[in-house]
Structure formats: C-alpha cells, structure tokens
Homo-oligomer: A and B are copies of this chain.
Amino acid sequence: MTKWVYSFGGGEAEGRADMKQLLGGKGANLAEMANLGIPVPAGFTISTEACAYYYKNNQAYPEGVTEQVDQALARTEEIMGGRFGDADMPLLVSVRSGAPVSMPGMMDTVLNLGLNDTTVKGLVKQTGDERFAYDSYRRFIQMYADVVLGVDNQNFEEIIEAMKEEKGVRLDVELDADDLKKLVERFKAKVKETRHEAFPEDPRDQLWGAIGAVFGSWMNDRAETYRRLHNIPVEWGTAANVQSMVFGNMGEESATGVAFTRDPSTGENRFYGEYLINAQGEDVVAGIRTPQYLGKKEREEAGSELPSLEEAMPTLYQELVEIRRKLEERYKDMQDMEFTIQRGRVWMLQTRAGKRTAKAALKIAVDMAREGLIDEHTAVNRLDPAQLDQLLHPTLDPDAPRDVLGKGLPASPGAASGRIVFSAGDAEDWVQKGEKVMLVRQETSPDDIGGMHVAQGIVTTRGGMTSHAAVVARGMGRPCVAGAGELRADVKKKTLTAGDRVLKEGDTLTIDGTSGEVIAGAVPTVQPEVSGDFAVLMAWVDRARPIKVRANADTPEDLRIADQFGAEGVGLCRTEHMFFDPERIVAMRQMILAADERGRRTALEKLLPYQRDDFEELLRIMGPRPLTVRQLDPPLHEFLPNSDAEMKKVAEAAGVDQGTVQQRANQLREANPMLGHRGCRLGITYPEIYEMQARAIFEAACNVVKKDGTAVRPEVMIPLVATHQEVAILRDKVDAVARQVFEETGTSVTYHVGTMIELPRAALRGGEIAQAAEFFSFGTNDLTQTGLGMSRDDSGPFLGAYQQQGIFAHDPFMSLDQDGVGELVQIASWRGREARPGLELGICGEHGGDPASIAFCYRSGLDYVSCSPYRVPIARLAAAQAALAGEG
C-alpha cells in the first residue's frame, strides 16, 4: 500500500526536511522541527503524489488515503488530547497547501476547521470565552465559504456591516457574543442561498472539502501562470497540510509572534523578532496593535515601554532561544519562524529561510562562514546577485520622510537629488555654475549624452526599461526613473506637473532608481560600502570564479568606477559618445555633410586629436588590461540634429546652407535604422572614418608606452559584421594603419583585432570569420533584435502580452533568450574555436550583467562577460555561482 499521509508531532515525524518534493516545503519543515524535538502542533501532510494521482485519475483520491487520513487524525488527537468533532474537547485544524517550491498565488489557508454548532460549544467550555469561540466560528465559515465553496467574501462583509448598523457600532470588536452567534446564522443562510445547500456541519466533510480545495488550487489560473513562468512541472502537484490549531489569543498567558534567527535588516547575529500577548498571528502583521520586542536589549535600544518577551515570559523566551539555536544548526541559514504561545506553552508553526536585505545577506554569509557554519562556496551562493545591486549604489535613507510625487520604472538603480533642469544644455550650464542637477525629459536621445553625464540622475516621462535613457543611465551608473507616466514634463514652459502640483526649473527633486519613486525635495542618502564584508566575500567570489569580468565603459570616469569594482578590462568602449562634445560635434557633422571623401578626410583630421587624447587617457587607466574599442557603430543620421533651429546651427557651423543640411538629413533617414547603414557598413563605404579611429587608437597607445613605459593592450573591435569578407577587408586596413603608426613613432604595441558577433549570419559563419578575427564579442542586444526580429524600441506594445501569455518567461532584452539567441552564441563559439583554437570569446550586450545570462555564458565556454561598471560585482558573483552550480 502506497504511503500517502505523513504524520508529525509529539517529538517525531514520518517526514524530513529533505522530503520537500513529496511533502512540500512547509510539510517537510514541520516534520523536521518535530524530529528535532521542537514542539509543533501535531498534524499530517497529504503528499504531492496524492495530488498528482488525483489529477491523473479524473480527480479521484487514491485508494487507502481515507484510511491513512483517519489514522493520522487519530494520532493527532492522541498527541493533542482533543477529538475532531467532539462536543467537549474538539480538535480544530488548519488546512494549507504546500508545493515543493514556494508558490505565491495559490490557495489561502483555512483555519479553525472542525467547528460546527456542536463543537463550538466545546470550544466555549475549553476556553471559557464565548465571544472568542463564536468569533472563531464565524471567521471559519467566512473563510471556508470563500476558499472552499467559492462564495465571495464580500457577501459576508456586507452582513457584518449591516449588523454593525443595527447595533449602532463602528468596530467589529464592539460586537458581542450574541451578535456573533447571529452572524453565524446569517452567514450560513447566505451560504445556503448562494450554493443551494447547507454549510457542511460534519467536520470530516469540512476536512475533505478543504483538502479538495487545496488540490484544486494547483490548477487555478494564477498557479498555472506562475508555474509556466517558473518552469514548474504540472506533474509535481501540491501537498496538503492538516495541523492542529493552537491559539495565541487565549488570555494573558498566550501570545503569538514572528522571529528571525538573525537581524534580517542588518544581518547582525542576534535573535530578532516581535510578539503580541493574547493575539492571533494576523494581529502581528496587521499592525493595529504595536508589537513588542522579543529581547530586552532590543526593547531598550528602541526605547519601547512595552515589556519584551525576555522580561514577560523569561522561561519561554529561553525555550525560543534554544529553538533558534537548533534551527540554525540544522538549517545553517538564517530562519524566519512563526510561533504561538498557548496558555504558557510554546508551539512552532513554521520555519523557513528568512528574507533579508542585501546588507544582511552579505553579513550573514560572511559571519556564518567565519563561524564555521558554512564554507566559502556556500557563502558565495547565499547572495542573490540581483540583490547585490542595492549595495553598490547610494540608497535613500530608509528612515527619512518621502514626499512622493509619482512612480516610474526603476530603470537604473541608486538614489540622488538635484535641481530640476529640462534640457541637456541647461544641465551642463548649471553644473558649470556648481549646481547639482536632475535632468527631466520626456525621453532622451544621443544628443542628451552630455547632459546625462553631468546630471545626478535622470527622469523621463516616456519609455521603458530599455529606452535610451534607461540603457545609457545604467551604463553610466546614473540613477534613472524612466516612463514616469503620472508626471508631465513641459520642456518649453520648464515645469514638471504631478496631479495638481507643479515644480519648476531649479526646484529640488530626488529619485530612487531602485524603486522608481520620484520625490519632491531632498532626501538624505546612504553611501554604499565596498570594503569590509563586501571585500571579504568578493575575494571568495573571485577564487570560485572561472571567467573574467570586464566593463562596458566609455569615459575615464566610467573606467575608474569599473576599476574600483574589480573589472579586468574594458569589453566595450563605444566611441560614438565621444563625438557629442560641443567642440567635436561640429567636425563630426561637417564630416557627415561632406560631399566627397576629401571633405570627409578634412573633417576627420580635426577629430583625430580629440579621439587620440581620449584613448590615451583610457589606455593609461587600463594599463595592461585589455581595452576593447568598438569602431563607429550608429548610423550617421544619429549625429544630425532634429529640430529646425539646430539644423540652422549646424548649417552655419559647417558652412553650408540649411537646405543642404536638410537634404542630407533626408537622404540619411532610414525606414529601419537598426538594420541600416551602420556598423562596419560605414567602415566599408567610408573607410577613412575607421582609419582615423584606428590611427587615434595606435597613436594613443604608442604615446602611453613612450611617455609612461607601461604596457597597454588595445583591442580594435569591428561592429555589425555579417560576413568574413567585411572582417578581412577592415582588418587589413587596421593592420595597415598600425604598421604606419608604428613606423612613424618608432614604437609598437601588441594589439588584437576582432569583431562583434551580433547578427545571426555572423554567428553561423563564425568559422570563416574567426580566420580574420582574433576575438568575438557577442553583442547580444542586436543579436536578440535580429534573432527574434524584435526591435527593442518597438516591443513595448506586445512584450507585456507575451510575458503574460507565457510566450517569454523573461524580457529577452534583460535576460538572454538561451534557446534561440543562446544557440547562435554557441554555434559561433564552436565554429570560431574550431577555426582558431584559443579564439577569445566574450559578451558585451546588456545581458553581460544578468546572472542567468552570465551562467549561460559560463556554460558556453566564454572567456569573459562585459557589463556596465556598476554591475561588475554582480557579474563577478553570478559567474562564481554559475561555476559552483556547474560543480554540484
């Protein structure tokens, strides 16, 4: 006979902590606590296998399960000293679902199951509290009717309201026992009216009804969606946990509380929690009464007058302290516990790994490793890379008040305050005068780079997580709130409106890029800590980490941040931002407007010294670490202005009439710029541009070597390659320039020439391309756009529906589409390495900072990932975890 039901309680259990697959997380942990001799209210778990059977067999329970439930119930009665359905000593139970992995959105709990018109009287006798008994009863009916019978809770709330009106009272607590009795009758009448059958009086009917509802909840829409999104097989099923009720609201010797084995906010190694005397679990959470501290020290520190548990019930407190010790020893992680004290006796209702802040996670991991509770690798695995982001940026002081104007998307983490400006130009002007500014725009364009760079933070009222503002801000490490649709930015009038509040240019604004909040006025911030525990843990991370982490960084400032965060090189240095400087953009535009190659060369000669100086500074910072410079990538029209006024300015500066500028701009306009005349196509059609850039790089490199005597390692990267011929042609030109410069300067440097692999064809032809390229850097942003045929800028209107309908588990621009785009990465890697053993492989798309994508890169044999400077530590951690997962 298959065992379907597992009992626990009375200092022993049939299950164990490692039986989560069979008993669900909750059931397994209850069993484990019982085994550890920790007092848990007795009960039993009906296994996930029973649920699976139920669905495989047209919703029939397996043979023997009824008998096994009866036996387990009998055992529970024996341990707890009551009887299910008994008129004098009724045993009441809770019924809860419990899947192998936690699944929010499944069934609510049913409490107080077993109450009926007979047993309620027994409860009165047991507790001597008629009001308590009938309140429990009416709550049970309400809960059961809602969860099991599908009678909308609103029905019952309306009955309660009517009752309060009859009595002329305002609060539920003002209703007395008789009122509650009446409520019970009215509730039952409502159930009968709605369901055309009476509320079940037989506790066994109630029990099986609740078990059926738990199993049924496995198939509800929310659960299905959750499973699809998290790849949870439908075959797993959920367990059902039936557990004796204990009450923390049975008088002054009863209490209920929650506790953490360490401080979940700071990570400090102290027992931390709250409790309430004579209360139910939900009262602690609801926040109507002020909870009391567990320990005396915490109470004193907080300056609370209410006695701590340590003071009020010292013996029971010690019992909890001992339980805390046992649990940490057993689980080797910080636990989140729920307990109830019923008339002087401690009962544990739940234990699970506790949620914690990033700061706490860091401290707990490092402390536990030092305490010998866990090893280094486990400590490394204890940090969620996504959470780590919180540690790397300034955050708003959590205790400071916030005057929130509205919310947008948390586009780039960190917090900052500054005075509002509405244009990039104003931002630069104000900063020159020594002001700190917050740049507010409807959306940003490459023209705004300068202003974004000097601003403390950026707010846009349009655009998504991958809008220009968001991507650039993340790259720069500037906090950014994007698409704050509740706010209206009037750039002409220079006002920012939120509802009926209007802020003007110069007013101070604060943003929290981690939460998306936009706040009026200044809010103090807390600076991140990159030493101490952080440094200790990152050292362990680096020991476990098999692949390199570089940064995507374009400016000296970015490079310095990358350096500080441990970047081992620059994987993507974009050169286009360099052209937006006011002094340079004129020459750039002159180049674009030139009628022929000669005109372009003249303009490029003006740009050469600027680029050389830039590269010199960058190479100097990186020293012997690789600096991978991408040659000009965006279509030329991105450098032309849009407005009429700007057109005019350009025409004047370039010394042509405005009609010519307009005409050239029209000529350059593209139907699909993403797929247009950009990347190496510029290098093929206007070789002089790439030659100038190559010259700037090599002259800079030779200068550094000559002046400083330090080694440098420039890498020239050719973007948007589709064919090996493009690489061969452009590589020859780079090599020719290098030879020329080395001859002219009498110096030489080691350099590499490689390509971006960001088009499907390039991935497929990786073998040929590797013959001319010394490295591949996967540009997974564009590879995603082309592989999926999906424009990042235009996917907003359908990407939501795609995620809701489970077509994409994640936004493919945030986390790599491993099945599709990932296969292209792997094909290119295999074919490339086959043609050129030792070919260097890396990724420099946005995905280089995404933990799941980093794990994929590790599994695919890449040498490095490159991500925005602030994400470097995250990438280091994710890479280490990927390697550790590979070992396990």
Contact = CB atoms under 8 A, between A and B. Distances in A.
Interface in A769-820: 782, 785-791, 793-795, 797-798, 801-802, 805-808, 817, 819-820
Nearest to A723: B807
A491 interface: no
Interface in A716-774: 720, 722-723, 725-726, 729, 758-761, 764-765
Contact of A673 (B672, B801, B806): B672
Given A675-B794, A798-B684, A787 B807 contact: no
The 8 closest A-B CB pairs, nearest first, are A761-B820, A675-B791, A760-B760, A676-B794, A672-B791, A759-B789, A671-B793, A725-B807
Contact of A672 (B729, B794, B801): B794
A618 interface: no
Nearest to A674: B672
A789 B726 CA distance: 14
A217 to B, nearest CB: 24
Interface of A: 670-677, 681, 684-685, 720, 722-723, 725-726, 729, 758-761, 764-765, 782, 785-791, 793-795, 797-798, 801-802, 805-808, 817, 819-821, 823-824
Contacts of A786: 675, 760, 786-787, 789
B675 A675 contact: yes
A808 B681 CA distance: 13
Given A685-B797, A807-B726, A759 B787 contact: yes
Given A684-B802, A805-B725, A676 B791 contact: yes
A789 B808 CA distance: 22
Given A675-B794, A677-B794, A722-B790, 7 more contacts: A675-B789, A684-B805, A685-B797, A720-B789, A723-B807, A760-B789, A761-B789
A791 B824 contact: no
B805 A729 contact: yes
24 contacts: A670-B791, A670-B793, A670-B794, A672-B673, A672-B791, A674-B675, A675-B786, A676-B791, A676-B795, A677-B794, A677-B797, A684-B801, A685-B798, A722-B790, A723-B820, A725-B806, A758-B789, A759-B787, A761-B817, A761-B821, A764-B819, A764-B820, A765-B819, A786-B787
A794 B674 CA distance: 10
Q: Which interface residue of A720, A758, A819 has the most chain B CB atoms within 10 A?
A: A819
B764 A807 contact: no
A449 to B, nearest CB: 18
A601 B725 CA distance: 52
B684 A807 contact: yes
A806 B725 CA distance: 8
A291 to B, nearest CB: 46
A153 to B, nearest CB: 28
Q: Which interface residue of A675, A729, A786, A791 has the most chain B CB atoms within 10 A?
A: A675
Given A722-B789, A782-B789, A671 B794 contact: yes
Contacts of A801: 684-685
A230 to B, nearest CB: 15
Nearest to A726: B807
Nearest to A820: B761
Contacts of A795: 676-677
A758 B788 CA distance: 10
A846 B142 CA distance: 65
Contacts of A785: 672, 675
Contacts of A787: 759-761, 786
Nearest to A819: B765
A820 B674 contact: no
A790 B820 contact: no
Contact of A681 (B670, B674, B675, B798): B798
Nearest to A676: B794
Contacts of A793: 670-672
Q: Which interface residue of A758, A761, A785 has the most chain B CB atoms within 10 A?
A: A761
Contacts of A782: 789
A167 to B, nearest CB: 44
A592 to B, nearest CB: 13
B823 A764 contact: yes
A794 B685 CA distance: 14
A787 B684 CA distance: 19
A64 to B, nearest CB: 37
Contacts of A672: 672-675, 785, 791, 793-794
Contacts of A823: 764
A489 B723 CA distance: 38
Contacts of A821: 761
A758 B725 CA distance: 25
Contacts of A761: 787-789, 817, 820-821
Given A725-B805, A805-B729, A760 B824 contact: yes
A447 B722 CA distance: 34
A685 B808 CA distance: 14
Contacts of A720: 789
Contacts of A676: 791, 794-795
